[in-house]
Every structure is written in structure tokens, then in C-alpha cells.
Amino acid sequence: MAATDPLASMDDGTRAALDVPSDLLAIDPEAMRRLGYSIVDRVVEHMASIGDQRAISEEEPARLRALIGGPAPVTPSPIADDLGLLADVVLRNQQHGDHPRYFARVPGPSSYPAVLGEWLATGMQSVASSWGGGSGPTAVEIIACEWLRDEIGLAPTCEAVLLSGGSMANITGAITARHLRGEGVIYLTDQTHASIKRGLLAMGQPAEAIRSLPPDEHYRLSASTLRAAMAEDRSRGLRPLMVVATAGTTNTGAVDDLPSIADICDEYGAWLHVDGAYGGPAALCKRGRAVMPGLERADSFVVDPHKWLFQPYDIACLFVREPGALERTFAMYPEYLADVTGSEVDLHNRSLELTRRGRGIKLWLTLRAYGLDTIGRAIDRGIGLAEYAQLVIEADPNLEIITPAQLGIITFAARGRTDRDHSLAAARLTADGYAAVTSTVLSGRTVLRLCIINPATTTADLDGTIERLSAYLA
Amino acid sequence: MAATDPLASMDDGTRAALDVPSDLLAIDPEAMRRLGYSIVDRVVEHMASIGDQRAISEEEPARLRALIGGPAPVTPSPIADDLGLLADVVLRNQQHGDHPRYFARVPGPSSYPAVLGEWLATGMQSVASSWGGGSGPTAVEIIACEWLRDEIGLAPTCEAVLLSGGSMANITGAITARHLRGEGVIYLTDQTHASIKRGLLAMGQPAEAIRSLPPDEHYRLSASTLRAAMAEDRSRGLRPLMVVATAGTTNTGAVDDLPSIADICDEYGAWLHVDGAYGGPAALCKRGRAVMPGLERADSFVVDPHKWLFQPYDIACLFVREPGALERTFAMYPEYLADVTGSEVDLHNRSLELTRRGRGIKLWLTLRAYGLDTIGRAIDRGIGLAEYAQLVIEADPNLEIITPAQLGIITFAARGRTDRDHSLAAARLTADGYAAVTSTVLSGRTVLRLCIINPATTTADLDGTIERLSAYLA
């Protein structure tokens, strides 16, 4: 092909670079297998024995730096040793969201089929950016999200995109609403997840165009308060843009009255965004679905499979009801993407992410591996475990229920004890390692909170946790 | 603990939920190991034989739906069969960014140590959100980013956060700049990555406050054009906020004149953001570093390890020079995070992401496993391969260089052939499967582009690719 030998005119730098062997980063296949198997063994052991370990551990910065820090590594270190350091030091020192007594914040009860799906996707460098460049991972993502959409009971026209978490999924929904409807006022409550307000400010929403409304006595967005706020804004010449309702708040599991809120949104032409990042999966079981009517009226809806759908981090799903709305908001056709855009779905046109790993693969495999009947039962068990915890707390004269069991979350307190007592009790149990528990603040009072969505949790785990907390607060 | 038997007052729904066995989602450990090993074997085979496979494949939507779609799965399917479907159908039908003849867009030459790190992190549900809830993964992330910062030659005060890709990392930098400096005009060129403009609009930057300047004849941001634009804006009472410079454009690998641009930024009080998402890793080798002076002057800098640092998707890194700047922009202290905020770094306060998987683990393991000497050589080989491609193209009388080899990227064209001819040639080779190649548009002309950063690529791979393209265009 070449008329002359290209090597003849090569400079020394190029020549030296080409002298680097093409297998420089390759590892002997036998060693690859051995290292890979060792991770499988380690993870299987982790999953089998997690309940016998601490629910959360923390290490001092200086000690961590001594073990894993130091100057930048110039020469190679043995991988097997480093994998040991990662497992024994790095990954030990964190909250174990997959531990059966991890009740803090929101657990992440990951499951093995999901891990397998993510492993395969990672090892084969999955990508779901354009149809032409990733038809397989794109199709899997679309199909898995359609299954979720239909089983959760969202509007059948909803289109979806997977993102890294509820924060990004909620903000992506808000950006879409603003793009389609124009600027306006956004309504939420102090029970709306705090990441949403942060996201709204980051997208340039003026703070004065965010109404943080007082919730009702059940920590829900009050329809009458919302209507009054919208009416007042309109009377001042402002335009209601969007309502952020919640299907399962992080604080109490409360579900907003979506049918009433949807009616108000219709009346005022506002976009209804429903944050089901935490609670959304509950719609996959009968008892959860019963407390969340109106999901089909959401203009946009978020659910995080890495919370209550048994996935490793990260995966969140945004649904938008109006077909093409995401593409109209996010489509981008630069010249170097010219060869990969076409009539099929290009998921990089549905959010701010361009390179997108195939997040849908693990979700698809999980739904297939268990089937939705089993998944619904696993979720219902979480709802039931929180109801059980409520009965245990009610039977303890030292304790009182603050908010009843709702979608796996219960809050309670010890009678006559201070805010600080409650914070300390949560911290003490967490430091002990038996369980991880956080306090929260409701109506100005610091209370204890358990989020119980891991089906591997037993009633004995709850007995032991509540017993210890009650004793600390006796 | 309980004064009475809580079970006595349990309703039927709760009782049925608790009858769901706690091991409902558990899988027999032997089966777990077998399934895990099968993925290891599959990935080892994939990595060993990728060069013998097609560089990219695409499947029809209807055929994919027939194979992996259908109604939502109610009952379980065998995992082993589904893993086969995922490997053979889903993950086959995509661009293989880790293929040695994948030269389109930006390859993703993933390496096995990085895969191992991600596997372990996934299996152990890694999380790097708060210090208290993830001191291990947080420390690993900080340490790995410090190594990169120092070896790339950024300012030593830079703090970092890992994100899902260049799009999110660049926008996070821009949000930080705006938060700290206030509203103003943002300057870029038509060679700036298109995802950045999309991100700026999403963060609420008015289109009229984005200046897309014409680049110089080498497709770089022109210092004189920039200065003139800033002067004009200032004379109109507008405030220059930020310049988006690029260290290695996606189109041509061009590196902007950072020292001159930094001087202008100093003069006008503008924030200098440098997008090194693609080219940044080149600073880890001597020849790359030589063409990127001035990186230490960046106020914020982005590099995507999932491009040229041998990582599986996704991982991008944002550095910000001013200590505490990220926290001042993104910190969020809602009440249910009360127990986990403290004096140590809470990475959820450095971007819009709250739940964050431990993305740093794979990067740390990769840097340790190879050492930076080897990694620098692997990167230098990519630079050299593009230089080799240039020599081959120059030796072909049918072809002409459009932009010379720069940081692994070369663009070229056939003399006397149309835009469409070039698009078709790229599409034909890609459809053939031997290699994946994309065209791009430079100064209105459609040309061919090779991005050659996989050290496993051989000169024979380049000979074969250029020979075929030349023949298609003869």
C-alpha cells in the first residue's frame, strides 16, 4: 500500500514509542482467571457472612494513608496483595448497605444476579450511548425500564433513561420540565429530598422561585397548601412550573396524595414530578401499590433500583411521560457523532451523559433471574418488617412511635429523653457495629429512624436492634 | 424487651410478609461460585480474543426484542442461560472500545486490573459518599486522584471528585466556577466538546452568554480572538466568567495554548477550565507532557480515566484548584445526614451526586498494578501509533493529512473525493467489522479520523485499516 517505507522517516520518539510491546498491559490468562476467581470467592464469602460482620466500620485518615497511600506508584505492585488490601482495608471501612442490620439512611441490599450482570458488563466494556454503537445494551436498558414502567403502573407512554442516582435522575427530570415548559416556580416541601433543591439551584433555578412548603401533619405535601401557594404566585404574575411530589420520603416513607396534587397540576398547567427514588419499587407489590395511587399521572418519575431493587451502586431511572421530551431537551448532534445518530434510540440524547455504561444489564438480569413475583414478595417483606418493628416498639413502654411503619421506614423515640440522647443512642449502636442506625429530625425533634428494606433482615435482627436502643435510652 | 408479644396484634398482611423467607433472594454458594467463575472465564476469553472479533456490531431492534424482550418476567429464568444471552447478543452488539482496531470516537481500552477493582467494589457494594459511611473508598479515591494530580502536573492544591464521565465532570466544574464567581460570559470554540455547551445550557447559562469563538487554523482556541472577545464583552458591561480550554480535542487532539490563555484569564479575572477528558492522561508520559505546558494554571481540570487510562466505564475526574471550592458549591447538610458529616472529606459534598459508588478503587488498583512508568509507556505508544499512521498516510499518494498526529489522533482525506465518499468509506469499513472508524467535519469538510490510544493496536492493524480506507477511496 505505502509507496515508500514509512519507517524510514520515523523520528526517535516515534520509534521508541513503537518499541513498547503491544502486550505491555496484557496479563497471562491463567493469572487472570486466578485473580478473577479470587474475587468471586471473596464476594461469595462476603455475601454469605455479611450478617456476622459489623454493619459499618470507619478508619482514621492517617491509618488509611499509611496502608494505601504514599507517593505515586512508579513500579508495579502484586495485584493479589492489593486486592487483599482493598477487601480487608478499603471495602471493610464503609457502611455495608447490604448488611441485614444496616437500617441507616437508605440500605442497598444488593443481590448476586445484579452483581453478575454488572460484572459481565464491566468486563466487556459495555456502552449504551448511541444505537449504532450500543444496540444491545441500549435495547436491554429500554426493555428493563419498560418492564419497570408497566409493573410500577406509570403511564404507558413513559420513556426512560438510567442515571447514576436519584440526584441526577431528579435534576434531569427538572431540566426537562423547564426546557419544555419554560421558567417558573417549583414547589416542594422540607421533606423533599435535599439533593433536589441542591440540583435545582445548580441548574440555575433562582432560590426565590423555589417554594419549600410546610408539609401536613403526616409529613406529606398538603394539597391545600400547594393550591394556595400556586394561586398566590399566579396572582403575583408568576408561573407555576413544576411540583416535586414524593412517593416514599427518605425521612418517614410518607407518600404524597398524588391524585389531588395531579389535579392541581392540571388546573395550573404545572409539571408533576414524582420522586419515587426510595419508595417507587414498593409499587411492585400489592400492599405498596395500594398506598401509591396516581403514579400514572406523573409527568416524570424517578426510581432508584440501587435502593430497593437489589442492585449494586449505581443505577437510577428517570421516566418521562411525553414521548420525545427527553430528546428534545438533551439531543446533541456534533459532527463526530454524525455516523452514529439515526432513527433508533440514542440514549446519550436523553440526559447530560454522553459516554454511558450499560447500567440496564444488571437490572434486566435481576428481573429475569428472580421474576417479578419473587421481587414483589421480597419488597413486601421489607414493608412487613417495618410493621413488625412498629409492634415491637409499641410494646415497649419506654418508646413511642413518631411516624408509623410506611414503606419500610419507621421513626420512634424514647419518652422524656433529649435530642442529644437519641443522637447518641444511634451513634452508640452504630459504633458497636451490631447495627447501623441514624437519627433524623421531625418537627424539630431528633428521633430514631429505621429503614428496613433488606429481605435478609430477620425479626430477631429487629428485636436485637430495638432492644439495644431502648436500653441505651432507658 | 417487649412487654407483650408483638405478634399477637399483627394483621394478616404483615404476617404474610413475614412468612416470606429471609433467604428468598439467596443463591447457593456453590452456584454463586460457578456463575461467577463463568463470567471470569468469559471476560478472560473476551480480552484474549477481542482482536479476532468484529470491532463493532449492530442488531435490528425487532430481533433484539425477540431475543431479550417480551412481557415482564413473572417467574424466574435460569441465570446461566441469561448470562449467555447477555454475552452473545447484548454485549456483542455494541462498539468494542477495547478492540485494538476500534479507532472511532474515543476508544475505551480497558485493562484487567481495572476490571478486577471494579468487580470487587461492585460485589462488596462500595460507597464513597460520606467519610463516616465510606472512609475506605473515600480515601482510595482521594489518594488515586492525588497521584494523578501530581503526575499530570496540576496545581498541588487541587482537590478532586470522580464522576460518571466528561460531561458531568465539565459541568460540575462550570457550576463551581459560577457559584464562586457569579454570573458571566463563558468562552469556548466550535472544537470544544459538544457535551459542554449542552451542559452549560442545562445549568441555566443563557445561550447569549456563551461565546463560541472561531478556532485558529490549528483548531485551537486563539488567544488573540479570546482577548478581543473579552475586551468587547467588558466594554459592553459584561463580565467574563470562564474560559473552557481544551488539552486534546476530540476532533484532532489539538492542545490549546494554556499559558497565553491563563494570562488572559488572570487579566480579566476569569476562571480557567481545562477539558483534558481525552488528552489529560498524555501528561503522564514525557512527550505528551511536552505539548501541554500550563496545566498547573487551570482553575479546574477534567480527565476521563475511562478514555486513556485503561478503565472500564465509567470514571471521570474533576480537579478544582481552590481548596474547599467544591464543598462551598455543593455541600448539603440535611437532617438525615446529621450523623455522618464531620471533619473528614464527605465526597457527596463535592458534586451533585449523593450516593456514589467507589469509582476510585479500580483507578487505584490500575495505577498500583502497572506503576506509572508502564502506564506512561502505554500512553506514549498510542501517541507513537498515530505518528506511525501519519507516515503511512503520507506515503500513500491517494491520501493527504488534514491534521497531523496529535495525542493519538490523526485526520486525513482522499484527494479529490467528496464528503459523502469519506462518510461512506468510514461506514463501509465499520460495517465490515475489521475496524471501527468515524468521519468528522473540519472547516466544513468531511474527513476521516483515527483515534489510536489502545496500546494493543499494532502497526499491522494500522496498515490494514489505512490500506482498506485508501482502497475504498481510490
**pLDDT (tens digit per residue) in A282-298:** 999 999 999 999 999 99
Residue B83 domain-assigned? Answer: no
State the burial class of residue A11 (Cβ atoms within 10 Å of its Cβ: 0-12, 13-18, 19+): exposed
Residues of chain B positioned with their CB less than 8 A from the CB of A194:
332-334, 337
Looking at residue B184, which CATH number applies to its domain? 3.40.640.10
- pLDDT score at B337: 42
Task: Name the β-bridge partners of A205.
Answer: none
Residue B226 domain-assigned? Answer: yes
Residues of chain B positioned with their CB less than 8 A from the CB of A22:
100, 381, 455-458
The span from the CA of B79 to the CA of B60, in Å, is 24
Return the residue in A12, A50, A91 with the most chain B beta carbons within 10 A, the one to mutate for interface testing.
Answer: A91
* Domain count across chain A: 1
Contact B392 A47 (CB under 8 A): no
- For CA atoms B114, A123, A345, B438, give the dihedral sign: positive
In this complex, the residue of A86, A127, A139 whose CB is nearest that of residue B117 is: A86
In this complex, the residue of A143, A165, A352 whose CB is nearest that of residue B171 is: A352
**Pairing mode, strands B240-246 and B271-275:** parallel
Residue A25 domain-assigned? Answer: no
Residue A349 domain-assigned? Answer: yes
Return the residue in B124, B351, B388 with the most chain A beta carbons within 10 A, the one to mutate for interface testing.
Answer: B124
Nearest-CA distance A75 → chain B (Å): 4
Contact A86 B203 (CB under 8 A): no
Nearest-CA distance B378 → chain A (Å): 7
Contact B455 A47 (CB under 8 A): no
Q: What is the mean pLDDT of chain B?
A: 95
Contact A125 B96 (CB under 8 A): yes
Quote the crossing angle between the two packed helices A360-394 and B12-19, to the nearest 10°.
130
- pLDDT score at B1: 45
| Mean pLDDT across A261-279 | 98
Contact B455 A20 (CB under 8 A): yes
Q: Which residue of B has its CA nearest to A117?
A: B83
| Cα A59 to the center of its chain, rounded Å | 25
Nearest-CA distance B263 → chain A (Å): 29
* pLDDT above 90 (res A344): no
State the burial class of residue B303 (Cβ atoms within 10 Å of its Cβ: 0-12, 13-18, 19+): buried
In this complex, the residue of B68, B120, B150 whose CB is nearest that of residue A139 is: B68
| Mean pLDDT across A368-391 | 98
Return the residue in A164, A195, A341 with the most chain B beta carbons within 10 A, the one to mutate for interface testing.
Answer: A164
Predicted complex ipTM: 0.97
Residues of chain A positioned with their CB less than 8 A from the CB of B62:
none
Q: Which residue of A has its CA nearest to B460?
A: A22
Nearest-CA distance B318 → chain A (Å): 15
**pLDDT (tens digit per residue) in B135-163:** 999 999 999 999 999 999 999 999 999 99
Judge whether A218 and A255 are in contact, CB under 8 Å: no
- pLDDT score at B341: 46
Greatest CA separation found in chain B?
Answer: 93
- pLDDT score at B9: 82
- pLDDT score at B275: 98
In this prediction, residue A120 has a pLDDT band, given cuts at 50, 70 and 90, of very high
Length of chain A: 474
Residues of chain B positioned with their CB less than 8 A from the CB of A287:
13, 17
The span from the CA of B233 to the CA of B238, in Å, is 5
Residue B19 domain-assigned? Answer: no
- Positions in chain B whose pLDDT score sits under 50: 1-3, 334-338, 340-342
DSSP A461: H
The span from the CA of B111 to the CA of B121, in Å, is 16
Contact A17 B466 (CB under 8 A): no
For residue A450, give the nearest of A434, A439, A461 by alpha carbon: A439
- pLDDT score at B2: 45
* pLDDT above 80 (res A364): yes
In this complex, the residue of A86, A136, A352 whose CB is nearest that of residue B198 is: A352
In this complex, the residue of A37, A61, A98 whose CB is nearest that of residue B139 is: A61
**pLDDT (tens digit per residue) in A15-34:** 999 999 999 999 999 999 99
Query: What are residue A410's phi and psi, to 5 degrees?
Result: -135, 145
Which three cell numbers mark A4? 515508500
Q: Which residue of B has its CA nearest to A56?
A: B133
Q: Which residue of B has its CA nearest to A449?
A: B336
Percent of chain A with pLDDT over 70: 97
What does each C-alpha distance from A233 to A190, A208, A240, A432 come to in angstroms? Answer: 19, 11, 7, 51
In this complex, the residue of B128, B369, B430 whose CB is nearest that of residue A79 is: B369
Q: What is the mean pLDDT of chain A?
A: 95
Residues of chain B positioned with their CB less than 8 A from the CB of A327:
none
Residue B305 domain-assigned? Answer: yes
| Mean pLDDT across A402-426 | 98
| Mean pLDDT across A165-190 | 97
In this complex, the residue of B43, B47, B198 whose CB is nearest that of residue A332 is: B198
For residue B221, give its domain range. Answer: 127-356
Contact A336 B111 (CB under 8 A): no
- pLDDT score at A28: 97
Residues of chain A positioned with their CB less than 8 A from the CB of B46:
123-124
Residue A381 domain-assigned? Answer: no
Q: Which residue of A has its CA nearest to B436?
A: A133
**pLDDT (tens digit per residue) in A430-445:** 999 999 999 999 999 9
In B283-340, at which residue ranges do the beta strands (DSSP E only) sit? 300-303, 316-320
In this complex, the residue of A334, A374, A377 whose CB is nearest that of residue B76 is: A374
Residue A59 domain-assigned? Answer: no
* pLDDT above 70 (res A213): yes
- pLDDT score at A339: 52
- pLDDT score at A5: 73
- pLDDT score at A343: 55
Contact A353 B165 (CB under 8 A): yes
Helices (H), B182-278: 194-202, 223-235, 258-268
Is cis: bond before A314, omega within 30 of 0? yes
Nearest-CA distance B77 → chain A (Å): 5
How many beta-carbon pairs under 8 angstroms link A with B?
603
Q: End-to-end CA distance of chain A, in Å?
A: 86
3-state helix/strand/coil string of A168-199: HHHHHHHHHHHHHHCCCEEEEECCCCHHHHHH
Which three cell numbers mark B166? 466528561
